Amino acid sequence: MDFTIFTFRQYINPLIYIAIALVIYFILSRFVALIFDRHKEKLIAKQLQRIITVKAMIMSIIKYIMVIGVLLASLANFGVDISSLLAGIGIAGAVLGLAFQDLAKDIIAGISIITEGQYEVGDLIEVDGFKGRVVSVGLKTTRIKNFRGKVKIISNRNMDELINYSKFDTLALVDVFASYEDDPEKVEKALENVKKNLDGTMEQMTGEIKFFPVTGLEESGIKYRVQCPCKSYKHFAVQRAIRKEVYKEFKRNRIKIPYPQIEIHSNK
């Protein structure tokens, strides 16, 4: 009789362990959600994406801990020596750790990349001379796609030295040359018109256009500089627009843009 009751308890205890684990998991999930979902509506898209990624990672870790805990408790319930099992797992883990230390480094680096926000999907980065957009970030590897469509897969442990072009604004910078025969005040007035015509006309711009008169006296002419702050790595379109407007203003005001010329002398 006692044996029958004991056997029944052996089989019912794992169900109790599972129920307890589910309750703990539910409580922890609510607690994590309470922490990470606070002020969620005030976050920008990138911050929200990072919060979601970290939250999912924490919940995955909690889930695996719950599963392992239930499994060990169930084995102990059936008379398995857990201490010997844990010792064996520890030894096996040490051996596997040595064999897969690069994998462990990748995972640790991946967690660091995600939690610290070093870069995210969609960011433009450069690693070892390869420049492209981040298309995926995993615990083991990062995938980068360049403008030609080539995808480079890099282990996270090798992502320690990189350039992230998407973190801050970039600067559209255009050097303009005018001939020495043109009055500098006339050139500056034309550049002022460029500023008036373009300021606030492009979504890539994050500030006002500025121009700097007579930044250099070059062999071909007088150099002026035009610049404008832009969204991260969106300066190419703004530079093209500035060059086009400078050309139109210089042509309208009959300002000569210097270019290489060849003089031919004849004895006749």
Give 81-113 pLDDT, tens digit per residue.
777 666 666 666 665 555 567 777 887 887 788
Residue 228 DSSP SS3:
strand
H-only helix segments in 117-234: 184-198
Average of per-residue pLDDT across 161-184:
89
Residue 19 has pLDDT above 80, yes or no: yes
AA letter at 252: R
| pLDDT above 70 coverage of the chain, percent | 80
* 12 and 87 together in one domain: yes
Please count the other Cβ atoms lying within 10 Å of the Cβ belonging to residue 255.
21
Considering the domain boundaries, does residue 78 fall inside one? yes
Put residue 199 in one of left, alpha, beta given phi > 0 → left and psi -120 to 50 → alpha. beta
Spatial distance between the Cα atoms of 143 and 149, rounded to a whole number of angstroms: 12
* 127 and 189 together in one domain: no
Find the domain containing 138 and state its range.
118-164
Residue 38 has pLDDT above 80, yes or no: no
Residue 135 DSSP SS3:
strand
* 156 and 177 together in one domain: no
pLDDT of residue 3: 45
- Least Cα distance to 134 among 53, 59, 56, 55 occurs for 53
**pTM of this structure:** 0.53
CATH number, domain containing residue 92: 1.10.287
